Amino acid sequence: MQEMLLLGSLRQLDSRITAKRPLDIYIFNVQRLENNEFNSHYEQLLYLERLGFNVEPVKKLCVGIEEAINEIERIGKIRESLSFGTDGAVIKVDNLELREVLGTNFKTPRWAIAYKYPPERKETILKDIVCQVGRTGAITPMAILEPIKLAGSTISKTTLHNEDFIKSKDLKIGDHVIIQKAGDVIPEVVEVVKKKRTGNELNFEMPDVCPVCGAPAIRENGEAIKRCIGIECSARKLRNIVHFASKAGMDIEGLRIFYNRGVS
């Protein structure tokens, strides 16, 4: 979310909107430096700090792979306390001349390698399960969660896909659940903390009728989802209009703006 906010802000045509957003930046590389007397990436970063730039604060000049591995583990332990989100750490050859010797392959430099941390997991409460109706009539259960900060954003809901997913996870309303972001992007329910059940949790059943229009909801053989079959369903109509106006459709910006503002 932070990356998306930054990218959208930089592309804003109205600079007044950008000025209202709390943007910040950390410098982690020097692409070009006139009269460069440095042969060390780390020394360049210290030089930039002296000039007053915000430089990547979690950096360390390591001697040997063991020290680098220890630093990766240390960053993994403190990353939740950092002022920015991170899903990994990068080991780089510090000597700039050696970088030239090592060169790059088709896509990436041979003098750097990234380590990706396991997805951050947090515990929260499944407060409710509500159903949404898509343009094809697909009825999708949505988890309403006790809001929790996870990997740089506040998560208050996420999809539960279909009734088979709910049954496979043995989810009940009121459960304590573990969530993570798949690929550090999309929130998902990983498992239930069953030892915290009190007996007051409620089972969830997919509705037999559309929660919006009341038409029958049917699950065909071989299908994973139930569908509303009501051709006059207002939710289906709205989703169809949204799809029609989307960039993949007729690209009608005005309709997209009205929808995003909650005008239906």
| pLDDT tens-digit readout, 45-102 | 998 999 899 998 889 999 999 999 999 999 988 887 887 778 889 999 999 999 999 9
Q: 32 pLDDT exceeds 80? A: no
Q: Do residue 6 and residue 112 come from a single domain? A: yes
pLDDT tens figures, 158-174: 999 999 999 999 999 99
Identify the band that residue 262 occupies on the pLDDT scale cut at 50, 70 and 90. Answer: low
Q: 263 pLDDT exceeds 60? A: no
Q: Cα(141)–Cα(21) distance, rounded to whole angstroms?
A: 34
Q: Cα(258)–Cα(260) distance, rounded to whole angstroms?
A: 6
In a domain, 57, yes or no: yes
Q: Do residue 155 and residue 211 come from a single domain? A: yes
DSSP 52-114: T--B-SS----SSHHHHHHHHHHHHHHGGGSSS--SEEEEE--BHHHHHHH-B-SSSBTTEEE
State how many domains the chain has. Answer: 2
For residue 20, the enclosing domain spans 2-116
Q: 245 pLDDT exceeds 60? A: yes
Is pTM, for the whole model, over 0.85?
Answer: no
CA torsion, points 223, 228, 231, 236, in degrees to nearest 10?
-100
Q: Do residue 211 and residue 167 come from a single domain? A: yes
Supply the CATH number for residue 61's domain.
3.30.470.30
Supply the CATH number for residue 138's domain.
2.40.50.140
**What is the average pLDDT score of the chain?**
87
Q: Do residue 34 and residue 74 come from a single domain? A: yes
CA 157 → CA 16, 75, 128, 148, 193, distances in Å? 31, 29, 10, 10, 18
Other C-beta atoms lying within 10 Å of the C-beta of residue 189: 22
Q: Do residue 126 and residue 160 come from a single domain? A: yes
Q: What is the mean pLDDT of residues 173-179?
A: 96
% pLDDT > 70, the chain: 91
CA 21 → CA 8, 9, 43, distances in Å? 11, 8, 32
Q: Do residue 126 and residue 104 come from a single domain? A: no
